[in-house]
Amino acid sequence: MTTDHPLSPDELEAALRAMGAERYHILHPFHRKLHSGGLNRGQVQAWALNRYYYQCRIPAKDATLLARLPTTDLRRAWRSRLEDHDGVEGKIGGVERWLKLCEGVGLDRDYVASTEGLLPGTRFAVDAYVALVRDRSILEGIASSLTELFSPTIIAERVSGMLRHYDFVTEETLAYFTPRLTQAPKDSDFALAYVRENARTVEEQQAALRALRTKCDILWAQLDALHFAYVEPGLIPPGAFVPDDRK
């Protein structure tokens, strides 16, 4: 991937997309099990409960980055993410919709929101995302969001597969995902244009690619932790959520 001269914007975009093709968590065995009906209700609950922590830290991630953006235009563009996740007057946002998803699969809302039953691996991976946008360059913070380039595909697989295979999952339960199919492309269009425009030098382009790689690792590590604790070998760490059928 390292070159002596900068890539053109199109070449850079191709390299970013290639990173996703290689490392996005759509390739993870836990995702394949989830959408193909290979999990039981307790395992789906574990996924929903752990993924909640990712959802509820996304506004912290976006606000951390927003605080560092230098212009009104950039901050206004980024602010729409906060609206998507925390809602606007009269309309709930993604965090609340994820809690409804958790309730829909039979979890207690307050228990989920307490994050008490979280896998430590989930917490560390998600916290690494907030740290990335705080500690690395703005370009890297924005580039790390580019996994949204790949999310419509994984959402489509997940929603259709889960509705087909799990009788405890309804369309209403999965309502979280519907707006994401338009929000994610809006966000990734903006972020991709920013990265194409602002990653000019070899160093900047490498940094942007590394940031996207780290983000892919963050998503991947969350599924590793789930798979390890709840699928194979199925070793639930002390204090983490125990599904009913494992009690």
Q: Which is nearer to a second copy, 115 or 198 (CB)?
A: 115
- Mapped onto helix, strand or coil, the DSSP state of residue 88 is strand
Among 15, 200, 228, 242, binds a second copy (CB under 8 A): 228
Q: Is residue 235 involved in binding a second copy (CB under 8 A)?
A: yes
Q: By the 8 A CB rule, do 213 and 29 touch?
A: no
**Judged by CB under 8 A, how many residues of this single chain contact a second copy?**
32
Q: Which is nearer to a second copy, 27 or 82 (CB)?
A: 27
Question: CA–CA separation, 195 vs 214, rounded Å?
Answer: 16
Question: CA–CA separation, 227 vs 222, rounded Å?
Answer: 9
Query: Which of 19, 44, 18, 22 shows the shortest CA–CA distance to 33?
Result: 44
Among 73, 89, 90, 233, binds a second copy (CB under 8 A): 233
Residues 163-222 binding a second copy (CB under 8 A) are 213-214, 216-218, 220-221
Q: Which is nearer to a second copy, 62 or 224 (CB)?
A: 224
Span interacting with a second copy, options 50-58, 79-87, 101-109, 120-128, rule CB under 8 A: 120-128
Q: Is residue 227 involved in binding a second copy (CB under 8 A)?
A: yes
Residues 25-84 binding a second copy (CB under 8 A) are 27, 29
Q: Which is nearer to a second copy, 139 or 221 (CB)?
A: 221
Q: By the 8 A CB rule, do 207 and 140 touch?
A: yes
Q: Is residue 136 involved in binding a second copy (CB under 8 A)?
A: no
Compute CA 115 distance to the chain's CA centroid, rounded to the nearest angstrom: 17
Scan for tokens 């002596």, then name that residue: 4
Question: CA–CA separation, 139 vs 227, rounded Å?
Answer: 32
Q: Is residue 21 involved in binding a second copy (CB under 8 A)?
A: no
The CA-atom distances, in angstroms, between 53 and each of 4, 36, 110, 113, 234 are 40, 24, 13, 8, 21
Q: Which residues bind a second copy (CB under 8 A)?
A: 22-23, 27, 29, 119-121, 123-125, 127-128, 131, 213-214, 216-218, 220-221, 224-225, 227-229, 231-233, 235, 237-239
